[in-house]
Amino acid sequence: MPPRFTPARVRADRRYRTLDKYRFIVGFLILPLAFYAVFVISPFFQAIYYSFTDWAGGATANFVGFDNYVKMWNDEKFWSSVQTSLLLLVFVPVVTLALGIFFAYMITAGGRHRRGEAVSGVVGSSFYKVVYFFPQVLSIALIAVVWQQVYSSRSGLLNGLLGEVGLGSLEQRWLGGDYKLGLFATMAVIAWSFVGFYVVLFSAAMGAIPKDIYEAALLDGAGRGATFFRVTLPLIWDTVRTGWIYMGIQALDAFAVVLIMVPGHVLKVTPVYLYERFREGQFGYATAIGVVLLVLSMAFTLIVMRIGRRETIEY
């Protein structure tokens, strides 16, 4: 009688189990992937197609080649909007992530050393998390309306506060006049609205770091600064890089904040310029602008992934 478990039979059994496993995976994912392909991937290809047409919203869309992109290349208003969007893309993530990391570190490890604890947060750290996260529960449109009133040159809270403390000479038309002031005001609002999310995100990442690592650093005589730059930041770097990408995409958008809060003659970002072209019925040209925004987002993501790549530290 031949042996029950021969090498050939074992290999056949392994192949069968592997095939059965992949059947289960495909059967489980096929419906979600189909929905994703229809409602997410398909619109991307449709947008790329319409960017090469003169579509004006009707039933016909004539193929015009690269005419929309040539028009875009010679459009000074488009390049002005791109310049503003790129400034937001560069500076807003840096400010937002820096504040998020600082506040998260203070909440997680910035308090006084307590007996039996290598690191501890400041007193009331849980309350601070709620306060920092509060803007995340508000809609971005509501945030823009509120800050529009804060920046108002007539009855705004900011100018009123400056006047009350004897700094009336610093009162400005924050949104209605100078481009730089409008850009600064927009950056401040975007950073304020998103910093709470990163405080919670980075706090969770820092809280996952084993306390033994901090204890070893303290035994070696490392201060707070050295502990942060040599222990905390390297261990949460993957989270920081992911947050950098996400915040950059949010800054590149900035549609609702600029459209609602800032007058169009002062500041205009590329998504707002795209919306105006749609409103005028230039759907093909607006779609081409959207494709350029997609390319900018992907290029930014690849750059951050490239320059932020480091060897993964396991603990």
Distance CA 228, CA 214 (A): 10
Structural domain includes residue 22: yes
Tens-binned pLDDT, residue by residue, of the chain (315 aa):
455 556 666 566 666 666 666 777 777 788 888 888 899 889 889 989 999 998 887 778 889 989 999 999 999 999 999 999 999 999 999 999 999 999 998 888 765 555 555 566 667 777 878 888 888 888 889 999 999 989 887 777 888 888 888 877 777 888 877 888 889 999 999 999 999 999 999 988 888 888 888 778 777 777 777 788 888 888 899 999 999 999 999 999 889 999 999 887 788 899 999 999 999 989 999 999 999 999 999 999 999 988 877 666 665
The single-letter DSSP state of residue 116 is: T
Contact between 93 and 81 (Cβ < 8 Å) = no
Do 42 and 95 fall within a single domain?
Answer: no
Same domain, 44 and 143: no
Tokens matching residue 23? 């059947």
Supply the range of the domain harboring residue 273: 69-307
17 and 154 in a single domain? The answer is: no
**Distance from C-alpha of 302 to C-alpha of 217, rounded to nearest angstrom:** 34
Residues 10 and 111 both lie in one domain: no
- The reply to whether 63 falls in a domain is no
Alpha carbon distance 218, 47 (integer Å) = 55
Please indicate, yes or no, if residue 193 is contained in any of the structural domains: yes
Report the predicted TM-score, pTM, of the whole model to 2 decimal places.
0.83
Instruction: Note whether 41 and 145 are same-domain residues.
Output: no
Q: Could you tell me if 93 and 195 are in contact, meaning their C-beta atoms sit under 8 angstroms apart?
A: no
The CATH number that applies at residue 129 is 1.10.3720.10
